[in-house]
Structure 1
Amino acid sequence: MRRILVPTDFSEEARNAYEVAISIARRTGAAIKLLHVVEAPYYSSNFSATGDTMVGSDSMEQLFMVQLLETTKNQMNELLRTVPHDGVDVVQEVDVDRPINKIKRTIKEDHVDLVVMGSKGSSGLDEFLIGSNTEKVVRSADCPVLTVKHRNPDFDVQEIVLASDFKREISTAMNEFKKFQQLFDARLHLVYINTPGAFESSSNLRQKLQHTADKYGLQNYTINVYNDVLEEDGILHFANDIRADLIMMATHGRTGLSHLLSGSIAEDLVNHTRVPVLTVHLK
């Protein structure tokens, strides 16, 4: 792991994510980019993050953006000053754009290996219609995304839940999951959530999980079949039962109507669990 991206909105959750990223960087020697994106208004084509404007821009709009960028850069400097990052290479960037567009572009251009983001979670109508920026990144990022809600500056992982239906091809995601397990020398708990609507015998499911473990050469793991009404609830309850430090899942990254109709358990977990979640997009 060489490059970690930490998008920040200067919230408490984003600060928590930055602290976790620093802890991971100390383990891996990775560099961190701390990124804040000023949401681009309709006139943003006349403005850049350096404060340069194009001919024809409105003077009041220009003044507002200059002041906003100055405030933002002060907040960034304060974050760098108040969160210790000794021994970790941290660079900062402030830009004017749509946050999801800038984050996706940075992942590609900087060859980012991991995104660490804070998540406040969302619920109700906001979750159904819009979703958070974190959820949008989880759905579309071409690299693993670690979502964090609570403060954990000495981020350590001993017990990992890997939840899946173990039916589709997850080889790309599994390679990333193994890297994270090995980074912390953690125990991996493979779990299949057996629900009434898609019930299978425990013996058949255990065979599937064992086949997965053998296929990918997993080490230090357990095999688990957990019964619950809904998959998401089952993952949360199982993670609570074993006192998991991390949940890992693959996401299909569907958008639009397909996402609203079928949903994504990985993205729902990002909103609802207190446990950090590592997601990998299935390409």
Structure 2
Amino acid sequence: MKKILVPVDFSEYSENALKVASEIAKKQNAEIVAVHMLGLSDAVITKEEDSMEGMFFLKLTQKRFVEFLDKDYLEGITIHQTVKNYKVFSEIDDVAKEHNADLIVMGSHGSSGLSEVFVGSNTEKVVRTSAVPVLVIKEGSSFNASKAVFASDYKLESINVFNRVTSIFKLLDIEVKLLYVNLPGEYYLSTNEIEQRIANFIIHLHGDEKILPEDVTIYSDYSVEKGVFNYAKRIKADIIGIPTHGRKGLAHFFSGSISEDIVNHSKLPVLTVKI
């Protein structure tokens, strides 16, 4: 892991993310790219008479950046700062690609309706669109995670995500507990059907990511979200890992809405990787 991208709105939520990013950066000897989305109107940017106003906001933001990044916990870490006039949070993915970021660490308070930038809806947009793994940090700013729940549907299309998530947790020295949530109704599978799917998944895994069928816990609940949260609570997990289809998902597991609900409602940090 060489570069970690942190979206910054100068709130306590983005500082929580910055602190966590600094902990990871120190362990991985990685650099941090802090990005602020200025979000000025097109009029301010394009009209000549408004150019001075645009420059004022840009200089003000740069000054706030210097103050915001003047933290003891960032000492020894190479920090890059960038200001973009983006107003659509899906464009965070463009910044991540521009800087070859390996991970996005983002603060969020979920869907409580407060007026900071990183409300649930904006975090969801990043989770939904980012090709780069996203670590969403909630309340608190320490990151002493030692045990993770990774929930998957164990379909073959999820193999790449499985490999990416488990490799990130391995880098962070986090033990991974594997989970399949079995649902009632039309999505219900018998134990035998689930075991066959998991066995087929294992056969197609490559490298040193081999697992045994008994390494996957089959947990029944009324929704994927409830199953993930209840199992995480049962084993006292510190972090949740989930795949997401974004808005393209046709499968019932980890479609955009399910993944976003987990990110929004979880009190634990959530690592998402797009399928």
Q: TM-score scaled by structure 2?
A: 0.85
Q: What is the CA distance between 1:207 and its match in structure 2?
A: 4.5
Q: 1:174 is matched with which residue?
A: 162
CA displacement, residues 196-238 of structure 1 (integer Å, 9 cap, x when unaligned): 1222223442453355456433469932111111111111111
Q: 1:272 is matched with which residue?
A: 265
Amino acid at match of 2:246: G
> Aligned to 1:265, what secondary structure does the other structure show?
helix
Q: What is the CA distance between 1:5 and its match in structure 2?
A: 0.5
Q: What is the CA distance between 1:116 and its match in structure 2?
A: 0.6
Q: What is the CA distance between 1:82 and its match in structure 2?
A: 2.9
Q: What is the CA distance between 1:109 and its match in structure 2?
A: 1.6
Tell me, yes or no, if structure 1 residue 237 matches structure 2 residue 226. no
Structure 1 pair 206/158, CA: closer, same or farther in 2 (3 Å)?
Answer: farther
Structure 1 pair 192/247, CA: closer, same or farther in 2 (3 Å)?
Answer: same
Q: TM-score scaled by structure 1?
A: 0.83
CA RMSD of aligned residues (A): 2.8
**Contact 1:188–1:222 (CA<8 Å) still a contact in 2?**
no
**Contact 2:109–2:139 (CA<8 Å) still a contact in 1?**
no
Q: 2:82 is matched with which residue?
A: 93
CA displacement, residues 1-33 of structure 1 (integer Å, 9 cap, x when unaligned): 111110011111111111111111111111100
For 1:203 and 1:239, how far apart are their aligned partners in 2? 24
Amino acid at match of 1:20: V
Which consecutive residues of structure 1, in runs of 5 or more, have no partner in the other structure? 47-55, 125-129
CA displacement, residues 104-158 of structure 1 (integer Å, 9 cap, x when unaligned): 221222111111111121269xxxxx962211111111111111112233x2321
Which consecutive residues of structure 2, in runs of 5 or more, have no partner in the other structure? 114-118
For 1:215 and 1:187, how far apart are their aligned partners in 2? 22
Q: How many residues align?
A: 263
For 1:142 and 1:164, how far apart are their aligned partners in 2? 18
For 1:210 and 1:165, how far apart are their aligned partners in 2? 12
For 1:213 and 1:8, how far apart are their aligned partners in 2? 39
**Contact 1:252–1:264 (CA<8 Å) still a contact in 2?**
no
Q: What is the CA distance between 1:83 and its match in structure 2?
A: 4.9
> Aligned to 1:173, what secondary structure does the other structure show?
helix
Q: 1:40 is matched with which residue?
A: 40
Identity level (%): 37
